[in-house]
Amino acid sequence: MKLRDIAHSRTGDKGDISNISVIAFDEKDYPLIEAYVTPERVKEYFSEVVHGEVVRYTIPSIGALNFVMRNALGGGVTRSLALDAHGKCLASALLDLEIPDTVA
């Protein structure tokens, strides 16, 4: 299934850093999201865009993960030639990630 089937997302940016929050629609799905949406997987998924480290922060009390991705916006909004210099579409792209429907 796609991550978007069980979660929604928001993005933010500061300079050349993008962050993406992934929030479960239902708290019962949070363990599944936590198990399969890892920093390593997010870095690999965005390998053509994210050239720095990816750090994941877990927020189980609200069923959310927050990913901070460095060197992700082509130098930042004022330097990037990208059409989406703020990286707002990265959240939607991440929601296309395929994940299993159960924790192994």
Tens of pLDDT along 26-69? 999 999 999 999 999 999 999 988 899 999 999 999 999 999 99
Given the structure tokens 């299993």, which residue do they identify? 100
- Tell me which of 74 and 36 has the higher pLDDT: 36
- 10 Å CB burial of residue 72 (0-12, 13-18, 19+) is buried
| pTM of the predicted protein model | 0.84
pLDDT at 79: 46
Report d(CA 102, CA 87) in Å as an integer: 30
* pLDDT given at position 81: 43
Residue 83 identity: L
With bands split at pLDDT 50, 70 and 90, how would you rate the model's confidence at 14? confident
The sign of the CA dihedral 22, 23, 24, 29 is positive
In the chain, domain spans: 3-94
What topology does CATH give the domain 3-94?
Gyrase A; domain 2 (3.30.1360)
Which among 15, 83, 90, 12 has a CA at the least distance from the CA of 48?
90
